[in-house]
Amino acid sequence: MTQVAVSPHVAAAIRIAREVAGPVANAVDKDARFPNEALAAMKEARLLSAFVPRELGGFGCGMLELSQMCEALGQHCASAAMVFAMHQIQVACLVRHGKGQPFFEHYLRDLVKNQNLIASVTSEVNVGGEMRNSICSVERQGDRFKLDKDASTISYGAQADDLLVTARRAPESPANDQSLILVSKAEYTLEKTGSWDTLGMRGTCSPPFKLRSTGGVERIMPESFADIASHTMVPFSHILWAACWLGISTSAVSRARAFVRKQARAKPGTTPPSALRLAEVSSMLQMVRANVHDVANECESLMSQPDAGTEVLSSIAFALKMNNVKVSTSTVLFDIAHRCMLICGIMGYKNDSPFSIGMHMRNALSAALMVSNDRIFATNANMLLVLKED
């Protein structure tokens, strides 16, 4: 992170990233295990409820602070950062769309107390990454519902306390008429139907599961998922993911810089040839950082307006901007990591060197398919055809 003044909550995340998440990041990656230590420390610092408003007992952090936390964690353990980001995205949906609903406000107060971890269940077998379509549906029976879903990926599904699940609103609803439902561990079962042995983001522990759940109908969010997605889930996902990726890029560039400095110290009075490549990659990093911070700032100020910026949040221009931050950051991330590996040479290629960039590159590969960039480009292509504003 750049040396700017940060809030005490961001400072806590920076400390946890450096002192807790970073030291075990290699073990988390090697064993594809959940970053337990980082999550325990974040719970102790009450960071899982950071976005919950003060009146409900949380810290009332905004998008900018959350993105700074993700960036800091991403520099030290990409999996811990992504788990934290995904949880915060779910909290943001509950805070912003459960407002004024006694059930959800009560849930958020409990979240502050118990630091529950919430996972996301949007992907579905035979739907792929098309978040705005579901096959499964909510089946209401009086004041109860039943919901089963064949989920293709649930990050930290086994570790989560609660799940936010997308489904068609009713058995007769079309695929894109969806609701968002909060299901609780006491009322669901998860049957693991595959493995999570991946190139990167191994500590997110994201295998496929068959979900079977029931609950009271008050757990179904009243707003349509279409609005929740465009006003909250997509902006929070794209900005917080991008902040995690910015953290990965920052770490790779910092290793490359340490390597070039070491080369310079070995031959005092000369500038190593790799310094030119370092200058190049450092300018790329600055562009990513400016992009992520700018969009996070804009989002935060929009969402804090008295009308919650609803008109802008629903606009095509805003949707394009949110999608662009995702596709541009995820594309350049791998390029930055690769360039850093070339700077460090064999020391970057080795897994056991202090200048290793292998894990950065493997983690970076997940970014373009975490909702496929091609899907997003296809959506943007259609939106650009009807965009009226400049």
Ligand X SMILES: Cc1cc2nc3c(=O)[nH]c(=O)nc-3n(C[C@H](O)[C@H](O)[C@H](O)COP(=O)(O)OP(=O)(O)OC[C@H]3O[C@@H](n4cnc5c(N)ncnc54)[C@H](O)[C@@H]3O)c2cc1C
Report the residue from 44, 294, 335, 374 that binds ligand X according to the rule CB under 6 A. 374
The answer to whether 91 contacts ligand X (rule: CB under 6 A) is no
CB of 348 to ligand X, least distance (A): 23
Side chain identity at 84, as an amino acid letter?
F
Report the residue from 22, 161, 375, 387 that binds ligand X according to the rule CB under 6 A. 375
Query: By CB under 6 A, how many residues form the interface with ligand X?
Result: 22
154 vs 302, beta carbon nearer ligand X: 154
The answer to whether 155 contacts ligand X (rule: CB under 6 A) is yes
Q: Which stretch binds ligand X (CB under 6 A): 33-41, 242-250, 311-319, 363-371?
A: 363-371
What mask of x and - would describe binding to ligand X in positions 169 to 208, judged by CB under 6 A?
A: --------------------------------x--x-x--
- Name which of 131, 130, 57 is nearest 91 in CA terms: 57
The answer to whether 154 contacts ligand X (rule: CB under 6 A) is yes
The answer to whether 378 contacts ligand X (rule: CB under 6 A) is yes
CB of 86 to ligand X, least distance (A): 6
CB of 253 to ligand X, least distance (A): 22
Convert the chain into a string of H (helix), E (strand) and C (coil). Answer: CCCCCCCHHHHHHHHHHHHHHHHHHHHHHHHCCCCHHHHHHHHHCCHHHCCCCHHHCCCCCCHHHHHHHHHHHHHHCHHHHHHHHHHHHHHHHHHHHCCCCHHHHHHHHHHHHHCCCEEEECCECCCECCCCCCCCECEEECCEEEEEEEECCCCCCCCCCEEEEEEECCCCCCCCCEEEEEEEHHHEEEEECCCCCCCCCHHHCCCCEEEEEEEEHHHECCCCHHHHHHHHHHHHHHHHHHHHHHHHHHHHHHHHHHHHHHHHHHCCCCCCCHHHHHHHHHHHHHHHHHHHHHHHHHHHHHHCCCCCCHHHHCCHHHHHHHHHHHHHHHHHHHHHHHHHHHHHCHHHHCCCCCCCCHHHHHHHHCHHHCCCHHHHHHHHHHHHHHCCCC
Q: Which stretch binds ligand X (CB under 6 A): 36-44, 134-142, 238-246, 362-370?
A: 362-370
CA distance 308 to 195: 41
43 vs 132, beta carbon nearer ligand X: 132
The answer to whether 31 contacts ligand X (rule: CB under 6 A) is no
The answer to whether 363 contacts ligand X (rule: CB under 6 A) is no
Which parts of 254-313 interact with ligand X (CB under 6 A)? none
115 vs 366, beta carbon nearer ligand X: 366
The answer to whether 372 contacts ligand X (rule: CB under 6 A) is yes
The answer to whether 234 contacts ligand X (rule: CB under 6 A) is no
CB of 25 to ligand X, least distance (A): 15
26 vs 159, beta carbon nearer ligand X: 159
The answer to whether 213 contacts ligand X (rule: CB under 6 A) is no
Burial 290-301 (b: 16+ CB within 10 A, else e): ebbbebbebbbe
Characterize the bridge pairing of strands 209-216 and 162-168.
unpaired
Report the residue from 53, 60, 129, 358 that binds ligand X according to the rule CB under 6 A. 129
CB of 38 to ligand X, least distance (A): 16
12 vs 42, beta carbon nearer ligand X: 42
The answer to whether 120 contacts ligand X (rule: CB under 6 A) is yes
The answer to whether 86 contacts ligand X (rule: CB under 6 A) is yes
Residue ranges in contact with ligand X by CB under 6 A? 86, 119-123, 128-129, 153-155, 201, 204, 206, 366, 369-372, 374-375, 378
